[in-house]
Structure 1
Amino acid sequence: MNDQSPGDGAPGFRARAGWTREQAAGIERTAATTAPVFYQPETDQMPHLHIWDTWFLRERDGTLAEVDGYRVCFSLTAPSDLLPGKRHDVAAIRVFYSADGREWHDGGAVFADALGQRQWAGSALYDDGDVYLFYTAAGTDGAEELTYTQRIVGASGGTVDTDDGFDLRGPWTHHELLSPDGERYEREAQSRAMIYTFRDPWFFEDPETGETWLLFEANSPVPEGSDACGGDASQQEFNGSVGIARSPTGDPLDWQLEEPLLDAVGVNQELERPHIVSQDGLYYLFVSSHLHTFGPGLSGYDALYGFVAEELRGDYVPLNGSGLVATNPANAPFQAYSWMAFPHDGEVLVQNFFNYFDFAGDTLDEIAHLPESEQMRRFGGTLAPTLRLTVSGAGTEIIGKLGHWEIPMAGESLPPTERELLARAQADGERGGYGR
């Protein structure tokens, strides 16, 4: 655990809080932050699909929804016969449902027509029987060639029918909610970096104030000649941020851009899929990021990173000193990605997807040099085992895992961890054996 306290975060470039190079320089694998090796599931629940970024249908208060006894999740998907590296070019959102949180079923593609050339990640809200789906519209509608323009979209009109099984129905209406303003959030034409981001909308209602927010991934504009990062232009190109918009009315389709929640100028280019877990009066902000998106002179991992503050728009402190919360083991550095945390039974559970599990190269770029058959074999393309975290103050620790696709139902107690079982066995031994 870490002995830092929330409330002493460093200022950001455009945001109130920032992730600094000094903090990120402390990133290293530890027993508390390294996931166990994941192995292939005995049965692939969705063999016809590549499945990656996944999010759950949630209530306004952030709890995972159960609709007439069904857990519901949404994922980016592509046909499983497609080369994995091509999946982002055809990504479509599908819905999955489960009556026990372990066995899941394919509910089909959500949209017949959506904005953009393909859809990237988002979030989903269940609001008094209505389903809202927030997603990233990637690419220019109607363009013949793939483009990488990104807009944040909300789809309304969804309902769930459980009279005869499970059915998510429209008709859906798609609303363009947010686009970058060029001042607080970089436009594509302003970007000088390897990757441009304005995506991954995530709905959040503040339990303390009742205010309604939408978080998203973005980049903070750094003007040429700025003294940010000591004027080092090579560092300034790494300008990831966690953006935020507020709904003045609470309407899930009515948003106004505000200053970023946190930025990482000089540190990291991509703060992907930002989301918050509110626990013990604190706000835990989590993002996913890659090895290759850290700035010059910094070394990170494909990992879940996190920060904590006493208020939603407070002074965020990196968890565990550096921000590292959960990464892959050194002998399987790309086994999982796209982590999403949520509270359950006193812990924080983290679902993620099974990525390139049988690969220990230095970068994912090396995958493209493998034969296509090997690229397919080494790609998981399904949900990975769910990680279990303890979270306290500014410290976290991985204490175990659940199975692939295992998302406990509401009120379901978690099984003892291996550590707890060992402690019980030792205690029984000290008392003279079992049964005494």
Structure 2
Amino acid sequence: MNAPTLWTRAHLDALAARSCPTAPVIAAGEVVPVAAGIGVWDAWPVQTLDGAIHRTKDGFELWLALATPLFDDPDQRHDHARIHLFRRRGDEWQHAGPAMPDGFSPGSREWSGSAVIDAAGREVTLFFTAAGRRGEAATSFEQRLFAAEVSLIDDDGAPVLTGWRDLREVVERDPAFYMQTIDPAGTIGKIKGFRDPAFFRDPADGAAYLLFTGSDATARSDYNGVIGIARAKGAAWQILPPIITANHVNNELERPHVIHHAGLYYLFWVTQRHVFDPEGPTGPTGLYGMVSDDLFGNWQPLNGSGLVFANPDQAPAQAYSWFVFPDLSVTSFVDNWGGGDGRRFGGTFAPFLHLHLEGPRASLREGAMTRDVMTGNAMTGSVGR
């Protein structure tokens, strides 16, 4: 197995030589709650084994997203996060409440993951991050990777997930490669990672993998983010060494995921300006990625630097948690939108974007942003793609 590919300061130096590609500004009319009284952020749909968004015979998509009630301080949401279920059909969104029943998850909170449905379209596997431990006296940043099974059934014309079962820890941390995450003094942006499992089936041989956010146990720098990987081995998962490391560059390579496009592997992750090493060149908050003809080596940063696109200068934190699908559409959520002074947390789905990929070059397609046109009552809305 190859050594991890390095994402280096030299790659980031390429950003200084050219203007950064940026997403369009999100307008006020596009920041419309997807459900009454809650804010949502990291989101993912139920996907088929090849990564496409699954649609039921009645045209529904099922989406999962981290959600909480709205807080005066939006950062408090991380201490209360649960995975909620949403249905989408055409222009309508429906909020179905928490995905898993109370007391089922082993964590004090639930953080990001992914979900995949079997070939028959009946059984869903949810991979997710259990943050902390249920019943802990003080909120911790411990992170563990879990999976659970659930059945997809039709309930009076609407798809529902029912019969949650087989909860299990699927990937256990290998201390030779990945740091532990128990740090009572940690703060958001500085904590270490073992989270964000994302499913990928390699079309070359049908092998299944989980990508995840980690921290390098061998690093001397506090800025030691890595992208980890595990391979399915029968009913178990075998943890492997990281495939990307950002030592001395960046602390968090979040929500890593892979798509296969035009015969190449494209690996994407998201990160924020404030988690770059301040002693080196820093990049903007944005979507980053690499390309390779081999899942385990020869990764080359897209556009020379790794940056696919950033938030616009006038709203440098307007969106986050971008996730790319095989059709090259990109979802995200509205974060601190509008620029200017103060914090305006959108807490809803952002307009979809669309990429163009050609070898090591990545760009936003012309007219890449599809506007949200939310309609209906407080529990429904619409978004085009």
Separation in 2 of the partners of 1:304 and 1:116? 28
Mapped pair 1:406 → 2:380? no
The answer (yes or no) to whether the contact 1:32–1:396 under 8 Å persists in 2 is: no
Name the aligned partner's letter for residue 46 of structure 1: A
The percentage of aligned residue pairs carrying the same residue is 36
Separation in 1 of the partners of 2:371 and 2:306? 26
Name the aligned partner's letter for residue 298 of structure 1: P
The answer (yes or no) to whether the contact 1:131–1:158 under 8 Å persists in 2 is: yes
Separation in 1 of the partners of 2:298 and 2:65? 32
Separation in 2 of the partners of 1:324 and 1:191? 32
Compute the TM-score of the two structures, normalised by the length of structure 2. Answer: 0.89
- Equivalent position of 1:275 in the other structure: 257
**Structure 1 residue corresponding to 2:47, chosen from 37, 58, 63:** 58
Deviation at 1:32, TM superposition (A): 6.9
**Structure 2 residue corresponding to 1:337, chosen from 320, 326, 330:** 320
- Equivalent position of 1:212 in the other structure: 208
**Structure 1 residue corresponding to 2:164, chosen from 171, 174, 180:** 171
Structure 2's unaligned 5+ residue stretches are 373-381
Q: Deviations over 1:170-195 (max 9, x none)?
A: 23332111232211111236999932
Name the aligned partner's letter for residue 104 of structure 1: W
Distance 1:165 1:192, change over 3 A: closer
1:347-362 matched pairs, under 5 angstroms:
348-360=328-340
Separation in 2 of the partners of 1:200 and 1:327? 21
The answer (yes or no) to whether the contact 1:239–1:263 under 8 Å persists in 2 is: yes
The answer (yes or no) to whether the contact 1:287–1:304 under 8 Å persists in 2 is: yes
- Equivalent position of 2:64 in the other structure: 74
Alignment RMSD (CA, Å): 2.3
The answer (yes or no) to whether the contact 1:188–1:196 under 8 Å persists in 2 is: yes
Distance 1:192 1:114, change over 3 A: closer
Separation in 2 of the partners of 1:71 and 1:172? 22
Separation in 1 of the partners of 2:355 and 2:213? 24
Deviation at 1:159, TM superposition (A): 2.3
Separation in 2 of the partners of 1:135 and 1:299? 29
- Equivalent position of 2:108 in the other structure: 117
**Structure 2 residue corresponding to 1:33, chosen from 2, 8, 21:** 21
**Structure 1 residue corresponding to 2:238, chosen from 236, 256, 260:** 256
Q: Deviations over 1:307-348 (max 9, x none)?
A: 00001112110000000011111110000000001132xxx1
Q: Deviations over 1:209-266 (max 9, x none)?
A: 111101100011125xxxxxxxxx5xx11111110000122x4xx2010111111111
**Structure 1 residue corresponding to 2:177, chosen from 165, 170, 184:** 184
The answer (yes or no) to whether the contact 1:32–1:397 under 8 Å persists in 2 is: no
- Equivalent position of 2:350 in the other structure: 384
Deviation at 1:107, TM superposition (A): 1.6
Name the aligned partner's letter for residue 336 of structure 2: Y
Separation in 2 of the partners of 1:402 and 1:210? 33
**Structure 2 residue corresponding to 1:126, chosen from 117, 121, 126:** 117
Q: Deviations over 1:27-60 (max 9, x none)?
A: 3596772011101336433232101000011011
Separation in 1 of the partners of 2:158 and 2:18? 45
**Structure 2 residue corresponding to 1:320, chosen from 271, 281, 303:** 303
Count of equivalent residues: 364
Distance 1:188 1:59, change over 3 A: same
- Equivalent position of 2:290 in the other structure: 307
- Equivalent position of 1:22 in the other structure: 10
Q: Compare CA radii of gyration and give the structure with the larger one.
A: 1
Deviation at 1:140, TM superposition (A): 2.2
